[in-house]
Amino acid sequence: MSAAAVAVWLGTVVTILSRSHADRNVYPSAGVLFVHVLEREYFKGEFPPYPKSGDASNDPITFNTNLMGYPDRPGWLRYIQRTPHSDGVLYGSPTAEHVGKATVIEITAYNRRTFETARHNLVINIMGTEEFPLPYQAEFYIRNMNVEEMLASEVLGDFLGAVKNVWQPERLNAINITSALDRGGRVPLPINNLKEGVYVMVGADVPFLVVPAGGGEPT
């Protein structure tokens, strides 16, 4: 094989083993829950066709996420992926100190069947919320949920809708979500579909009205 042919072959191998996506920009608000789903379907299209037989549509894919130039993510940003056959989720509540600064998260997807990788950068542009403060907060414990289930947009939306019906603020947002395991909870036994449980912190622009157990005026 000639030197030129070797160079072409090496270039092809590099292209197959690792492909890069264009940067993706997102604009979360400081002090409000940020959720970004790493969709397996989005990355699978970047892996070239595998020459051997197999169901490529169900390839096991895992993700590595880190702050550009560092081995881990920022302290406020967490990541969860339950299995290589489920989507990954980045979530957390960005802080005001990062407002106006771009936070670049390097995301690497690994195809565990073909050993190929695909990469892209997630650019998190944190916005200020001074004009829309949420000074009143309440925390709820939901026993029958795992954190990644609660982070699903439709589930979280239904929960916030139910809270808003009781609280009746003009503005209501999720501030943070924490697994009960991070609060010292026990890992549930693998029976009866037991869940880990989650804590959901919400914020609003008006005080929460608590109705006394015996009736009377809200406080």
**What residues does each domain of the chain span?**
17-125, 136-204
Residue-wise pLDDT for 125-165, tens only, equals 999 987 778 899 999 999 999 999 999 999 999 999 999 99
- CA distances (Å), 165 to each of 33, 122, 153, 168, in order? 20, 35, 18, 5
Give the residue carrying structure tokens 């029976």.
191
Give the residue carrying structure tokens 């106006």.
100
Q: What is the pLDDT of residue 98?
A: 87
Judged by DSSP in three states, 127 sits in strand
- Per-residue pLDDT, averaged over 114-123, amounts to 92
Find out whether 193 and 203 touch, Cβ atoms under 8 Å: no
- Per-residue pLDDT, averaged over 166-178, amounts to 93
Residue-wise pLDDT for 92-115, tens only, equals 999 889 898 899 999 999 999 888
Q: What is the pLDDT of residue 193?
A: 77
Q: What would the CATH number be for the domain defined by 17-125?
A: 2.60.40.10
